[in-house]
Amino acid sequence: MTLIERLAQIVGPAHVLTGEDCARYSTDWTGVYPSTPIAVVRPTSTEEVSAVVKAAAAEGVPIVPVCGNTGLCGGTYSEGALMVSLERMNAVREIRKEARVAVVEAGVVLDKMHEAVDPHGLIFPLIFGARGSAMLGGCLSTNAGGSNVVRYGSTRALCLGLEVVLPSGEVLDLMTALHKDNSGYDLKDLFIGAEGTLGIITAATLKLFPKPAAYATAMVAVPSLDDALVMLNRLQSATGGAVEAFEYMPGPTIDAITAHFDGMRSPFDETYDVNILVEIGATAARDAIPGDDGTLPVVAYLEEVLGGMLEEESVLDAVVAQNETQRAAMWAIREGNAEVALENPPFVNTDVCVPLDRVAEFLEKIEPRMKALDEDMTSMCVCHFGDGNIHYTAQPSRYDDALLDRILEEVEELAIALGGSFSAEHGIGLTKLASMRRRKNPVALAVMRQIKAALDPQGIMNPGKVLP
Protein backbone atom coordinates (compact mmCIF):
# COMPACT_ATOMS: atom_id res chain seq x y z
CA MET A 1 0.00 0.00 0.00
CA THR A 2 1.35 3.42 -0.93
CA LEU A 3 1.45 6.30 1.55
CA ILE A 4 -1.33 8.08 -0.36
CA GLU A 5 -3.53 4.98 -0.15
CA ARG A 6 -2.80 4.66 3.56
CA LEU A 7 -3.69 8.31 4.15
CA ALA A 8 -6.94 7.86 2.21
CA GLN A 9 -7.84 5.01 4.55
CA ILE A 10 -7.27 7.27 7.56
CA VAL A 11 -9.10 10.45 6.51
CA GLY A 12 -11.10 9.38 3.46
CA PRO A 13 -10.10 9.79 -0.21
CA ALA A 14 -11.83 13.18 -0.52
CA HIS A 15 -9.45 14.64 2.05
CA VAL A 16 -6.16 13.59 0.47
CA LEU A 17 -5.44 16.18 -2.20
CA THR A 18 -2.81 15.80 -4.88
CA GLY A 19 -1.76 17.57 -8.07
CA GLU A 20 -3.70 20.68 -9.01
CA ASP A 21 -5.97 20.26 -5.97
CA CYS A 22 -3.00 21.34 -3.83
CA ALA A 23 -2.65 24.69 -5.59
CA ARG A 24 -4.34 26.85 -2.94
CA TYR A 25 -2.03 25.44 -0.26
CA SER A 26 1.13 25.97 -2.28
CA THR A 27 2.08 29.47 -1.13
CA ASP A 28 1.63 31.68 1.90
CA TRP A 29 0.18 35.18 1.89
CA THR A 30 3.33 36.85 0.59
CA GLY A 31 3.63 34.60 -2.47
CA VAL A 32 7.40 34.56 -2.03
CA TYR A 33 7.75 30.83 -1.30
CA PRO A 34 5.77 28.74 -3.81
CA SER A 35 6.11 24.98 -3.38
CA THR A 36 4.44 21.73 -4.36
CA PRO A 37 3.57 19.29 -1.56
CA ILE A 38 3.35 15.63 -2.47
CA ALA A 39 -0.15 15.75 -1.00
CA VAL A 40 -2.35 17.74 1.37
CA VAL A 41 -4.12 15.63 3.96
CA ARG A 42 -7.01 17.09 5.96
CA PRO A 43 -7.70 15.13 9.17
CA THR A 44 -10.72 15.86 11.33
CA SER A 45 -9.56 14.62 14.74
CA THR A 46 -6.48 14.30 16.89
CA GLU A 47 -6.60 10.55 16.37
CA GLU A 48 -6.48 11.02 12.62
CA VAL A 49 -3.57 13.46 12.91
CA SER A 50 -1.73 10.88 15.00
CA ALA A 51 -2.35 8.14 12.44
CA VAL A 52 -1.26 10.41 9.58
CA VAL A 53 1.97 11.32 11.35
CA LYS A 54 2.73 7.67 12.14
CA ALA A 55 2.18 6.72 8.50
CA ALA A 56 4.46 9.50 7.24
CA ALA A 57 7.11 8.76 9.89
CA ALA A 58 7.17 5.09 8.85
CA GLU A 59 8.09 6.22 5.33
CA GLY A 60 10.45 8.99 6.49
CA VAL A 61 8.33 11.56 4.66
CA PRO A 62 8.66 15.20 5.81
CA ILE A 63 5.53 16.76 7.34
CA VAL A 64 4.53 20.43 7.14
CA PRO A 65 1.58 21.53 9.32
CA VAL A 66 -0.62 24.32 7.97
CA CYS A 67 -3.58 26.27 9.34
CA GLY A 68 -4.69 29.52 7.70
CA ASN A 69 -1.45 29.90 5.69
CA THR A 70 -1.32 33.63 6.42
CA GLY A 71 2.34 33.58 7.51
CA LEU A 72 4.95 36.04 6.26
CA CYS A 73 8.17 34.03 6.62
CA GLY A 74 7.79 30.89 4.49
CA GLY A 75 6.95 28.65 7.42
CA THR A 76 4.67 26.41 5.33
CA TYR A 77 7.02 25.87 2.38
CA SER A 78 6.39 22.21 1.57
CA GLU A 79 8.32 21.12 -1.52
CA GLY A 80 8.47 17.31 -1.47
CA ALA A 81 6.66 17.14 1.86
CA LEU A 82 3.28 15.98 3.11
CA MET A 83 1.22 18.98 4.17
CA VAL A 84 -1.15 18.35 7.07
CA SER A 85 -3.97 20.92 7.09
CA LEU A 86 -5.83 21.45 10.36
CA GLU A 87 -8.70 23.35 8.68
CA ARG A 88 -11.31 20.65 9.39
CA MET A 89 -10.42 20.59 13.08
CA ASN A 90 -12.37 23.80 13.66
CA ALA A 91 -14.54 23.20 16.71
CA VAL A 92 -14.81 25.42 19.75
CA ARG A 93 -15.16 22.45 22.06
CA GLU A 94 -16.09 24.30 25.21
CA ILE A 95 -16.48 27.79 26.66
CA ARG A 96 -16.30 27.90 30.43
CA LYS A 97 -17.61 31.35 31.21
CA GLU A 98 -16.96 31.45 34.94
CA ALA A 99 -13.41 30.12 34.58
CA ARG A 100 -12.88 32.39 31.56
CA VAL A 101 -11.34 29.71 29.40
CA ALA A 102 -12.13 28.19 26.02
CA VAL A 103 -11.13 24.77 24.72
CA VAL A 104 -10.61 24.99 20.97
CA GLU A 105 -9.20 23.07 18.03
CA ALA A 106 -6.29 24.31 15.96
CA GLY A 107 -8.35 25.03 12.85
CA VAL A 108 -10.63 27.61 14.47
CA VAL A 109 -10.37 30.89 12.54
CA LEU A 110 -9.50 33.76 14.84
CA ASP A 111 -12.59 35.77 13.88
CA LYS A 112 -14.80 32.75 14.62
CA MET A 113 -13.21 32.55 18.05
CA HIS A 114 -14.11 36.18 18.65
CA GLU A 115 -17.69 35.52 17.55
CA ALA A 116 -17.99 32.41 19.73
CA VAL A 117 -17.05 34.12 22.99
CA ASP A 118 -18.83 37.43 22.38
CA PRO A 119 -22.30 36.27 23.52
CA HIS A 120 -20.75 35.33 26.87
CA GLY A 121 -19.55 38.89 27.46
CA LEU A 122 -15.95 37.76 26.94
CA ILE A 123 -13.14 38.37 24.50
CA PHE A 124 -10.13 36.49 23.23
CA PRO A 125 -7.86 39.51 22.90
CA LEU A 126 -5.64 38.45 20.01
CA ILE A 127 -6.23 41.00 17.24
CA PHE A 128 -4.44 41.51 13.92
CA GLY A 129 -5.30 42.18 10.29
CA ALA A 130 -5.47 38.55 9.09
CA ARG A 131 -7.96 37.49 11.77
CA GLY A 132 -10.54 36.57 9.11
CA SER A 133 -8.35 33.73 7.82
CA ALA A 134 -5.62 33.05 10.39
CA MET A 135 -6.28 29.99 12.55
CA LEU A 136 -5.45 29.43 16.19
CA GLY A 137 -2.97 26.64 15.53
CA GLY A 138 -0.89 29.00 13.42
CA CYS A 139 -1.21 31.77 16.01
CA LEU A 140 0.15 29.42 18.63
CA SER A 141 2.86 28.01 16.39
CA THR A 142 4.24 31.49 15.67
CA ASN A 143 3.40 33.03 19.07
CA ALA A 144 1.46 35.72 17.23
CA GLY A 145 1.27 39.19 18.76
CA GLY A 146 -0.94 41.84 17.21
CA SER A 147 -2.28 45.13 18.45
CA ASN A 148 -3.34 44.28 22.01
CA VAL A 149 -0.08 42.89 23.37
CA VAL A 150 0.43 46.03 25.46
CA ARG A 151 -2.46 44.93 27.72
CA TYR A 152 -2.86 41.17 27.27
CA GLY A 153 0.46 39.81 26.01
CA SER A 154 1.30 37.62 22.99
CA THR A 155 -0.37 34.29 22.25
CA ARG A 156 1.92 32.48 24.69
CA ALA A 157 0.51 34.58 27.53
CA LEU A 158 -3.03 33.67 26.45
CA CYS A 159 -2.52 29.89 26.49
CA LEU A 160 -3.02 27.64 29.50
CA GLY A 161 -2.80 24.24 27.86
CA LEU A 162 -2.03 22.41 24.63
CA GLU A 163 -2.65 19.14 22.84
CA VAL A 164 0.22 18.21 20.50
CA VAL A 165 0.88 15.30 18.16
CA LEU A 166 4.60 14.56 18.37
CA PRO A 167 6.77 13.51 15.39
CA SER A 168 6.39 9.92 16.59
CA GLY A 169 2.60 10.18 16.33
CA GLU A 170 2.19 10.09 20.10
CA VAL A 171 -0.32 12.53 21.56
CA LEU A 172 1.01 14.83 24.27
CA ASP A 173 -1.93 15.91 26.43
CA LEU A 174 -1.14 19.19 28.20
CA MET A 175 -4.73 20.42 28.14
CA THR A 176 -4.78 21.94 31.59
CA ALA A 177 -6.86 24.96 32.53
CA LEU A 178 -4.60 25.68 35.49
CA HIS A 179 -3.02 29.05 36.14
CA LYS A 180 -0.45 27.38 38.39
CA ASP A 181 1.24 24.05 37.71
CA ASN A 182 4.81 23.62 38.91
CA SER A 183 5.09 19.89 38.17
CA GLY A 184 8.28 19.95 36.14
CA TYR A 185 9.19 21.60 32.85
CA ASP A 186 6.54 23.82 31.27
CA LEU A 187 6.43 21.75 28.10
CA LYS A 188 3.71 23.72 26.36
CA ASP A 189 6.07 26.65 25.91
CA LEU A 190 8.34 24.45 23.79
CA PHE A 191 5.64 24.14 21.16
CA ILE A 192 4.30 27.71 21.22
CA GLY A 193 6.46 29.59 18.73
CA ALA A 194 8.17 26.44 17.43
CA GLU A 195 6.43 26.76 14.04
CA GLY A 196 5.53 23.10 13.86
CA THR A 197 9.14 21.90 14.02
CA LEU A 198 8.56 19.90 17.22
CA GLY A 199 5.02 18.65 16.67
CA ILE A 200 1.54 19.54 15.45
CA ILE A 201 -0.65 21.57 17.79
CA THR A 202 -4.17 20.15 17.52
CA ALA A 203 -6.01 21.89 20.38
CA ALA A 204 -5.53 24.44 23.13
CA THR A 205 -7.02 25.80 26.33
CA LEU A 206 -7.05 29.58 26.02
CA LYS A 207 -7.65 32.45 28.43
CA LEU A 208 -10.65 34.73 27.99
CA PHE A 209 -11.17 38.22 29.40
CA PRO A 210 -14.14 40.46 30.18
CA LYS A 211 -15.42 42.29 27.15
CA PRO A 212 -14.84 46.04 27.52
CA ALA A 213 -18.13 47.82 28.04
CA ALA A 214 -16.78 50.94 26.36
CA TYR A 215 -13.81 52.07 24.33
CA ALA A 216 -12.03 55.38 24.02
CA THR A 217 -10.19 55.57 20.71
CA ALA A 218 -8.26 58.45 19.20
CA MET A 219 -5.74 59.37 16.56
CA VAL A 220 -3.17 61.68 18.09
CA ALA A 221 -0.37 63.69 16.46
CA VAL A 222 2.65 64.38 18.65
CA PRO A 223 5.93 66.23 18.03
CA SER A 224 8.07 63.17 18.68
CA LEU A 225 8.03 59.56 19.83
CA ASP A 226 9.44 60.70 23.15
CA ASP A 227 6.21 62.65 23.63
CA ALA A 228 4.27 59.55 22.60
CA LEU A 229 5.97 57.52 25.34
CA VAL A 230 5.05 60.18 27.90
CA MET A 231 1.45 59.98 26.68
CA LEU A 232 1.41 56.18 26.97
CA ASN A 233 2.68 56.28 30.55
CA ARG A 234 0.19 58.99 31.56
CA LEU A 235 -2.71 57.09 30.06
CA GLN A 236 -1.66 53.87 31.76
CA SER A 237 -1.57 55.69 35.10
CA ALA A 238 -4.89 57.46 34.51
CA THR A 239 -6.72 54.27 33.49
CA GLY A 240 -5.07 51.67 35.70
CA GLY A 241 -3.32 49.96 32.80
CA ALA A 242 -6.34 49.85 30.49
CA VAL A 243 -4.52 50.92 27.32
CA GLU A 244 -5.27 48.12 24.85
CA ALA A 245 -3.46 49.44 21.79
CA PHE A 246 -0.86 52.11 21.12
CA GLU A 247 0.06 52.08 17.44
CA TYR A 248 2.54 54.40 15.72
CA MET A 249 2.23 55.41 12.06
CA PRO A 250 4.34 58.08 10.35
CA GLY A 251 2.55 60.61 8.20
CA PRO A 252 3.76 59.28 4.81
CA THR A 253 2.55 55.81 5.73
CA ILE A 254 -0.93 57.13 6.54
CA ASP A 255 -0.92 59.06 3.25
CA ALA A 256 0.03 55.93 1.29
CA ILE A 257 -2.65 53.82 2.95
CA THR A 258 -5.46 56.35 2.56
CA ALA A 259 -4.51 56.92 -1.09
CA HIS A 260 -4.67 53.18 -1.76
CA PHE A 261 -8.20 52.51 -0.50
CA ASP A 262 -11.25 54.16 -2.03
CA GLY A 263 -13.14 56.32 0.44
CA MET A 264 -10.50 56.16 3.16
CA ARG A 265 -9.21 59.42 4.62
CA SER A 266 -7.00 60.54 7.45
CA PRO A 267 -8.70 61.93 10.57
CA PHE A 268 -6.44 64.96 10.23
CA ASP A 269 -6.64 67.75 7.66
CA GLU A 270 -2.87 67.91 7.41
CA THR A 271 -0.01 65.43 7.48
CA TYR A 272 1.89 65.03 10.75
CA ASP A 273 5.18 63.17 11.11
CA VAL A 274 4.27 61.20 14.24
CA ASN A 275 0.77 59.73 14.66
CA ILE A 276 -0.50 57.42 17.39
CA LEU A 277 -3.68 55.33 17.31
CA VAL A 278 -4.56 54.81 20.96
CA GLU A 279 -7.37 52.71 22.36
CA ILE A 280 -8.47 52.24 25.97
CA GLY A 281 -10.90 49.51 27.00
CA ALA A 282 -13.11 49.99 30.07
CA THR A 283 -14.63 47.00 31.84
CA ALA A 284 -15.68 48.65 35.12
CA ALA A 285 -19.14 50.24 35.19
CA ARG A 286 -17.71 53.40 36.73
CA ASP A 287 -15.68 53.93 33.56
CA ALA A 288 -18.30 52.83 31.04
CA ILE A 289 -21.58 54.40 32.20
CA PRO A 290 -22.22 57.86 30.69
CA GLY A 291 -22.34 60.80 33.07
CA ASP A 292 -25.10 63.40 33.23
CA ASP A 293 -23.64 65.13 30.18
CA GLY A 294 -23.54 61.87 28.23
CA THR A 295 -19.75 61.58 28.32
CA LEU A 296 -18.21 58.20 29.01
CA PRO A 297 -15.70 58.39 31.90
CA VAL A 298 -13.13 56.41 29.91
CA VAL A 299 -13.38 58.96 27.11
CA ALA A 300 -13.08 61.74 29.68
CA TYR A 301 -9.82 60.20 30.98
CA LEU A 302 -8.43 60.17 27.46
CA GLU A 303 -9.55 63.71 26.71
CA GLU A 304 -8.16 64.98 30.02
CA VAL A 305 -4.70 63.59 29.32
CA LEU A 306 -4.74 64.78 25.72
CA GLY A 307 -6.00 68.22 26.77
CA GLY A 308 -3.19 68.63 29.26
CA MET A 309 -0.61 67.61 26.68
CA LEU A 310 -2.11 69.99 24.12
CA GLU A 311 -1.58 72.83 26.59
CA GLU A 312 2.01 71.68 27.08
CA GLU A 313 2.39 71.48 23.29
CA SER A 314 3.46 67.84 23.61
CA VAL A 315 0.37 66.95 21.55
CA LEU A 316 -0.17 68.75 18.23
CA ASP A 317 -3.62 67.49 17.27
CA ALA A 318 -6.10 64.83 18.34
CA VAL A 319 -9.33 63.34 17.02
CA VAL A 320 -11.33 61.23 19.47
CA ALA A 321 -13.75 58.74 17.90
CA GLN A 322 -17.33 59.69 18.75
CA ASN A 323 -18.95 56.44 17.60
CA GLU A 324 -18.17 52.94 16.39
CA THR A 325 -18.04 54.04 12.75
CA GLN A 326 -15.28 56.53 13.48
CA ARG A 327 -13.43 54.00 15.61
CA ALA A 328 -13.59 51.41 12.80
CA ALA A 329 -12.33 53.99 10.29
CA MET A 330 -9.25 54.66 12.42
CA TRP A 331 -8.51 50.96 12.74
CA ALA A 332 -8.98 50.45 8.99
CA ILE A 333 -6.07 52.80 8.37
CA ARG A 334 -3.81 50.86 10.73
CA GLU A 335 -4.79 47.47 9.34
CA GLY A 336 -4.41 48.55 5.73
CA ASN A 337 -0.66 48.84 6.10
CA ALA A 338 0.27 45.25 5.23
CA GLU A 339 -1.61 45.21 1.94
CA VAL A 340 -0.05 48.48 0.82
CA ALA A 341 3.46 47.71 2.06
CA LEU A 342 3.64 44.36 0.28
CA GLU A 343 1.92 45.23 -2.98
CA ASN A 344 5.00 46.58 -4.77
CA PRO A 345 7.92 44.15 -4.82
CA PRO A 346 10.76 44.01 -4.26
CA PHE A 347 10.41 44.60 -0.55
CA VAL A 348 11.99 43.52 2.71
CA ASN A 349 9.40 43.12 5.43
CA THR A 350 10.96 43.21 8.89
CA ASP A 351 9.63 42.44 12.34
CA VAL A 352 12.00 43.70 15.01
CA CYS A 353 11.51 44.63 18.63
CA VAL A 354 13.45 47.13 20.74
CA PRO A 355 12.89 48.57 24.23
CA LEU A 356 10.18 51.22 24.23
CA ASP A 357 12.62 54.03 24.96
CA ARG A 358 14.79 53.02 21.97
CA VAL A 359 12.07 53.01 19.28
CA ALA A 360 12.71 56.65 18.36
CA GLU A 361 16.45 56.02 18.11
CA PHE A 362 15.89 53.01 15.83
CA LEU A 363 13.68 54.99 13.46
CA GLU A 364 16.05 57.94 13.45
CA LYS A 365 19.05 55.80 12.54
CA ILE A 366 17.55 53.29 10.11
CA GLU A 367 16.74 55.67 7.25
CA PRO A 368 20.33 56.94 6.73
CA ARG A 369 21.51 53.32 6.75
CA MET A 370 18.96 52.42 4.08
CA LYS A 371 19.82 55.40 1.89
CA ALA A 372 23.50 54.43 2.09
CA LEU A 373 22.56 51.06 0.56
CA ASP A 374 20.18 52.40 -2.07
CA GLU A 375 19.58 56.14 -2.39
CA ASP A 376 16.31 55.55 -4.27
CA MET A 377 14.88 53.23 -1.61
CA THR A 378 11.49 54.05 -0.09
CA SER A 379 9.95 52.65 3.06
CA MET A 380 6.80 52.19 5.09
CA CYS A 381 6.61 51.71 8.81
CA VAL A 382 4.12 50.91 11.53
CA CYS A 383 4.90 50.07 15.11
CA HIS A 384 3.12 48.41 18.00
CA PHE A 385 4.64 51.17 20.08
CA GLY A 386 3.15 49.87 23.32
CA ASP A 387 5.44 46.83 23.15
CA GLY A 388 8.29 48.12 20.95
CA ASN A 389 7.53 45.94 17.91
CA ILE A 390 8.52 47.75 14.69
CA HIS A 391 7.37 46.64 11.23
CA TYR A 392 9.76 48.44 8.91
CA THR A 393 9.24 47.61 5.23
CA ALA A 394 12.06 48.65 2.91
CA GLN A 395 11.26 48.96 -0.79
CA PRO A 396 14.52 49.03 -2.77
CA SER A 397 14.68 50.38 -6.30
CA ARG A 398 15.84 47.10 -7.85
CA TYR A 399 15.81 43.32 -7.52
CA ASP A 400 19.14 42.26 -6.06
CA ASP A 401 19.37 39.31 -3.66
CA ALA A 402 22.57 40.63 -2.12
CA LEU A 403 20.94 44.02 -1.52
CA LEU A 404 17.83 42.45 0.01
CA ASP A 405 19.96 40.44 2.40
CA ARG A 406 22.05 43.49 3.26
CA ILE A 407 18.90 45.48 4.07
CA LEU A 408 17.74 42.74 6.43
CA GLU A 409 21.17 42.58 8.04
CA GLU A 410 21.28 46.35 8.59
CA VAL A 411 17.84 46.35 10.22
CA GLU A 412 18.62 43.47 12.54
CA GLU A 413 22.08 44.83 13.36
CA LEU A 414 20.59 48.11 14.52
CA ALA A 415 17.80 46.42 16.47
CA ILE A 416 20.23 44.20 18.34
CA ALA A 417 22.62 47.09 19.00
CA LEU A 418 19.72 48.81 20.76
CA GLY A 419 19.05 45.76 22.95
CA GLY A 420 16.35 44.31 20.72
CA SER A 421 15.46 41.21 18.71
CA PHE A 422 15.31 40.53 14.98
CA SER A 423 12.03 38.65 15.34
CA ALA A 424 9.05 39.84 17.38
CA GLU A 425 5.84 38.15 16.21
CA HIS A 426 6.03 36.78 12.66
CA GLY A 427 8.29 33.83 13.39
CA ILE A 428 11.46 32.61 11.67
CA GLY A 429 10.35 30.23 8.91
CA LEU A 430 12.76 30.46 6.00
CA THR A 431 13.09 34.25 5.85
CA LYS A 432 15.08 34.65 9.04
CA LEU A 433 17.32 31.60 8.90
CA ALA A 434 20.28 33.82 8.00
CA SER A 435 19.36 36.09 10.90
CA MET A 436 19.32 33.13 13.27
CA ARG A 437 22.72 32.05 11.97
CA ARG A 438 24.17 35.56 12.33
CA ARG A 439 22.55 36.76 15.51
CA LYS A 440 21.21 34.01 17.75
CA ASN A 441 23.36 33.05 20.69
CA PRO A 442 25.28 29.91 19.61
CA VAL A 443 24.65 28.17 22.93
CA ALA A 444 20.93 28.83 22.54
CA LEU A 445 21.04 27.42 19.01
CA ALA A 446 22.84 24.31 20.27
CA VAL A 447 20.18 23.76 22.94
CA MET A 448 17.43 24.19 20.34
CA ARG A 449 19.08 21.59 18.11
CA GLN A 450 19.31 19.17 21.02
CA ILE A 451 15.61 19.60 21.73
CA LYS A 452 14.77 19.12 18.04
CA ALA A 453 16.90 15.96 17.86
CA ALA A 454 15.33 14.54 21.00
CA LEU A 455 11.73 15.07 19.89
CA ASP A 456 12.21 14.57 16.14
CA PRO A 457 15.18 12.25 15.60
CA GLN A 458 14.19 11.66 11.96
CA GLY A 459 14.05 15.40 11.32
CA ILE A 460 10.72 15.11 9.49
CA MET A 461 8.63 17.77 11.25
CA ASN A 462 8.63 20.99 9.20
CA PRO A 463 12.30 20.50 8.29
CA GLY A 464 14.50 23.42 7.30
CA LYS A 465 12.53 25.98 9.29
CA VAL A 466 13.60 27.97 12.38
CA LEU A 467 16.98 26.25 12.84
CA PRO A 468 19.71 27.22 10.35
Domain boundaries, the chain: 3-85, 92-210, 214-337, 346-424
The CATH architecture assigned to 214-337 reads 2-Layer Sandwich (3.30)
Question: Which amino acid, 9?
Answer: Q
CATH class entry, domain 346-424: alpha beta
Work out the widest C-alpha separation in the chain, in whole angstroms.
Answer: 78
Nearest to residue 146, comparing CAs of 342, 358, 331? 331
Structure confidence at residue 32 (pLDDT): 85
pLDDT at 329: 96
Architecture in CATH for domain 3-85: 2-Layer Sandwich (3.30)
Cβ neighbours of residue 323 closer than 8 Å, sequence gap 6 or more: none
What confidence score (pLDDT) does residue 191 get?
98
To the question of pTM greater than 0.85 for the whole model, the response is yes
Sequential DSSP letters for 111-180: HHHHHHHGGGTEE-----TTTTT-BHHHHHHHT---TTHHHH--GGGGEEEEEEE-TTS-EEEE----S-
> What is the mean pLDDT for each group of 10 consecutive residues in the chain (468 residues)?
96 97 89 93 98 98 96 94 98 98 98 98 94 96 95 97 98 97 95 98 98 96 96 93 96 95 94 97 91 88 94 96 95 91 86 96 96 95 96 94 93 96 95 93 97 98 97
Identical fold at 214-337 and 346-424? Answer: yes
CATH 1.20.58.1030 at 92-210, yes or no: no
Q: Which of 188, 114, 196 is closest to 156 using CA atoms?
A: 188
For the chain, give percent helix, strand, coil, nearest 5: 40, 20, 40
Task: Centre a 10 Å sphere on the Cβ of residue 443 and count the other Cβ atoms it contains.
Answer: 8
pLDDT at site 111: 97
